[in-house]
Structure 1
Amino acid sequence: MRLDKFVMRSTRLTKQQVTTCIESGEVTVNQQAITDVRYQVHENNLIDYLGEQLIPRAFRYLMFNKPANTICSNVDGDYPSILNQINIEDKQELHIAGRLDADTTGLVLITDDGRWSFNIMRPEQNCEKTYRVTLSKPLANDVVERFEQGVLLSGEAKPTLPAKLKKISVEQAFAPDPSQNQQDGYKTQMPQQVLLTITEGRYHQVKRMFFSVGNRVNALHREQIGLLKLDIPLGHWRYLTQCEVNSFIN
């Protein structure tokens, strides 16, 4: 962790105050004054400020069930930030581990532990994310196999990593065709829901994957990350248990 971030986590100083005290030589690392705010410190370092040892606040780990028309950001934008619905101290220190689009709902992990969230987000960790996807029409017969092999998205040089796709339901209904004079109507394909599990987080990946096979995502909801399943109502949050936190630590 950077020295300035360590000092901020261990005191109530503002960012500017922390910068000033470090550059003035008031902070020591292993009894040596360090004036570079970017200096990297580690768990076993002894860090003092004006002769007093600094002990950082414990990291926090939260689950949040994101509603639609909110954004995974620390500040409001075109839509309000999800952090507006979380009422805890030092909220500005939190960040989102794996963002969702404004119109996507479901499981979001929030923390102030950068190393922990990095392990969740980088593809080589193979952390699975499962989405419930509502499609505009039923799947073609070959889509499950194509997703298992990886699909090439528009503008990408490499195909996606293998993904798991499970059909949930297919509904078909008959409806009259207003454009034709047919007494018995015609068959209309209704939306289908599927579960998609991926280990990457490319830009709009889920929507682009289905678009590449001639389908469209009407609704998207993240149900699970790793072994952690969403278990709270929409718009609510809770702290993770230590066991849940540890499930993301290799």
Structure 2
Amino acid sequence: MASKRGRLDQFIARRLQVSKKAVRQLLIDNKVSVDGKYAKTPDLLIDEFSHIVCNEVVLQQYQKQYYMLNKPDGVVSATIDDKHPTALSLLLGVEHDMLHIAGRLDLHSTGLLLITNDAKWSAALMAPNNKVDKHYIVTLANPIDERYIDAFANGMYFEYENITTLPATLTILSSHQARVSLCEGKYHQIKRMFGRFRNPVVGLHRESIGEIVLDNTLLPGEFRSLTKAEIDCVIQQ
């Protein structure tokens, strides 16, 4: 989801159905304020979170929203779905306008899901160049051993996309469970990597994305707003 940047005069002309000449006169007469200050130039760049008032009427006042959800099994990482409950449907009491998911999880995967209306923030979080680590607890159908560690660290070639995965860290937790850390998210990547060993993934739970760790007080299906520290840990260019 791209950030909606544009010129102030174009926004007001479209919003009020007036000419740009009329908008310029409003600016001259100090009738327009953006984020609490009188706007003077028609080409001032605004975005979807600029607070815009014209003739004491609020034209736009969206607030940035950031949530973490403990996604349960059987919920889709989508805004709309005809067959399954969606992640957004679990955010009760929240205005859903412009909300989107930063880093999806499969239908049967569980754990940390981040939901926001700030496209710049989510783009920075998911940008391949930023190499933000994602940490998962993976439960396997069959026992795992030391061979997996080197295979994940060396990367795996996926013929269909003609790519080799970046190095990933695998830590064995028990005979059938491992923690996997990686900084990319190819299609069904973790399942496909374990598939090289013909070892089906029977459980996939995301613990964290970068410095944002799933709040262990949240039960499956529960959510909370991110803290300022959690929001600020995402470095935007």
The TM-score normalised by the length of structure 1 is 0.74
Q: Which residue of 2 aligns with 1:73?
A: 78
Q: How many positions carry a matched residue from both structures?
A: 213
Is residue 233 of structure 1 aligned with residue 219 of structure 2? yes
SS of residue paired to 1:124 = helix
Match of 1:210 among 194, 197, 214: 194
The aligned runs of 1:129-140 (5 Å cut-off) are 129-140=134-145
Q: Which residue of 2 aligns with 1:187?
A: none
* Per-residue Cα deviation, 1:201-235 (whole angstroms, up to 9, x for no partner): 11111111111232211111111111121122111
Compute the displacement of 1:57 (Å).
2.8
Contact 1:30 1:47 in 2 (8 A): no
Q: Which residue of 2 aligns with 1:32?
A: 42
Q: Which residue of 1 aligns with 2:65?
A: 60
Q: Which residue of 2 aligns with 1:246?
A: 232
Match of 1:84 among 73, 81, 89: 89
Summarize the Cα distance change of 1:22–1:129 in structure 2 as closer, same or farther, 3 Å threshold: farther
Cα distance in 2, alignment partners of residues 238 and 25 from structure 1: 43
Q: Which residue identity lines up with residue 153 of structure 1 in the other structure?
A: F
* Per-residue Cα deviation, 1:85-132 (whole angstroms, up to 9, x for no partner): 112342122110000011111000000100100011122111111111
Cα distance in 2, alignment partners of residues 120 and 112 from structure 1: 13
The aligned runs of 1:1-250 (5 Å cut-off) are 1-3=3-5, 21=15, 24-25=18-19, 31-32=41-42, 41=46, 49=54, 56-170=61-175, 192-231=176-215, 232-249=218-235
SS of residue paired to 2:112 = strand
Which blocks of at least 5 consecutive residues in structure 1 are unaligned? Answer: 11-17, 35-39, 171-191
Compute the displacement of 1:42 (Å).
5.6
Compute the displacement of 1:152 (Å).
1.2
Compute the displacement of 1:69 (Å).
0.7
Q: Which residue of 1 aligns with 2:32?
A: none
**RMSD across aligned positions (CA):** 3.1
SS of residue paired to 2:76 = coil
Cα distance in 2, alignment partners of residues 210 and 20 from structure 1: 53
Cα distance in 1, alignment partners of residues 228 and 153 from structure 2: 33
The TM-score normalised by the length of structure 2 is 0.78
Calculate percent identity across the aligned residue pairs.
34
Cα distance in 1, alignment partners of residues 166 and 16 from structure 2: 44
Cα distance in 2, alignment partners of residues 99 and 83 from structure 1: 12
Cα distance in 2, alignment partners of residues 108 and 215 from structure 1: 26
Which blocks of at least 5 consecutive residues in structure 2 are unaligned? Answer: 25-38
Summarize the Cα distance change of 1:223–1:33 in structure 2 as closer, same or farther, 3 Å threshold: closer
SS of residue paired to 2:230 = helix
Cα distance in 1, alignment partners of residues 13 and 184 from structure 2: 36
Q: Which residue identity lines up with residue 131 of structure 2 in the other structure?
A: N
Summarize the Cα distance change of 1:3–1:225 in structure 2 as closer, same or farther, 3 Å threshold: closer
Cα distance in 1, alignment partners of residues 203 and 226 from structure 2: 27
Cα distance in 2, alignment partners of residues 211 and 219 from structure 1: 14
